[in-house]
């Protein structure tokens, strides 16, 4: 094998494109239990904001430990995510334990948010819990299996 071009040690950030920043921001605030660390969503309808990288395109960014997760509100209204096209398949967030996955499932139930079952992936060494965001982007909570 040849020398790699780079040796990344983690992902710096993930940003997903959404149709409605207010709806998505509220969903992720509830899901992640935190407010955005950077938030330009109140400016989303100002002229030029959706093209302005310095104002995060009118979106927001959540801090997750040493990484960040962002929302970019530039998708046309009514458009839905399709994991079967080139690009993103899903986003997976790490939780500390399988017990935390079960607790998250219970909290999703309490919130009336539809989700998948806590599923052990066997030889992959992880357990997952899936949920769809308002634009139908598949999100996954994952923990190492014991």
Helix (H) or strand (E) segment spanning residue 140:
strand 138-144
Q: In the chain, what is the greatest distance between 2 CA atoms, to the nearest angstrom?
A: 52
Q: Are 135 and 81 in contact (CB under 8 A)?
A: yes
The pLDDT of 48-66, averaged and rounded, is 94
Secondary structure (DSSP) of 87-125: S---EEEE-S-HHHHHHHHHHHHHHT--B---EE-GGG-
Structure letter (DSSP) for residue 41:
G
Task: Convert the pLDDT of each residue in 1-50 to its tens digit.
Answer: 788 888 887 788 999 999 999 999 999 999 999 999 999 999 999 999 99
Using one digit for the tens of pLDDT, what is the confidence trace for 131-145?
999 999 999 999 998
């Amino acid at each position: 094998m040849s020398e790699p071009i780079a040796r990344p040690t983690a992902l710096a950030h993930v940003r997903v494109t959404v149709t409605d920043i207010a709806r998505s921001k509220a969903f992720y605030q509830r899901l992640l239990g935190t407010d955005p660390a950077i938030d330009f969503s109140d400016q989303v309808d100002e002229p030029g904001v959706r093209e302005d990288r310095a104002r995060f395109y009118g979106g927001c960014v959540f801090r997750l430990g040493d990484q960040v997760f962002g929302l970019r509100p530039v998708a046309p209204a009514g458009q839905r995510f399709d994991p079967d096209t080139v690009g993103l398949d899903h986003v997976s967030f790490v939780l500390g334990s399988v017990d935390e996955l079960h607790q998250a499932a219970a909290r999703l139930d309490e919130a009336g948010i539809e989700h998948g079952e806590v599923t052990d992936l066997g030889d992959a060494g992880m357990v997952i819990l899936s949920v769809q965001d308002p634009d139908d982007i598949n999100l996954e909570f994952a923990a190492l299996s014991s």
